[in-house]
Amino acid sequence: MSRFSSSSWRLAAVCVPFADLFIPDGETREGSGEANRRNRAAKGICVPCPVRRECLSDALSTEGTDSPYQRAVVRGGMSPHQRATLSVVDRERLIREGQTGPPGPR
Ligand code: SF4
Query: Is the Cα torsion angle 95, 101, 105, 106 positive or negative in sign?
Result: negative
1 pLDDT more than 60: no
Tens of pLDDT, residue by residue over 20-52, are: 888 777 777 777 888 889 999 999 999 999 999
Q: Is 76 in the pocket of ligand 1 (CB under 6 A)?
A: yes
pTM across the whole model? 0.85
Confidence of residue 76 (pLDDT cuts 50, 70, 90): very high
Write the single-letter amino acid at 27.
E
In this structure, the residue with its CA closest to atom 3 of ligand 1 is 75
Query: Cα 81 from chain centroid?
Result: 11
**Which pLDDT belongs to residue 3?**
67
> 46 near 77, Cβ under 8 Å?
yes
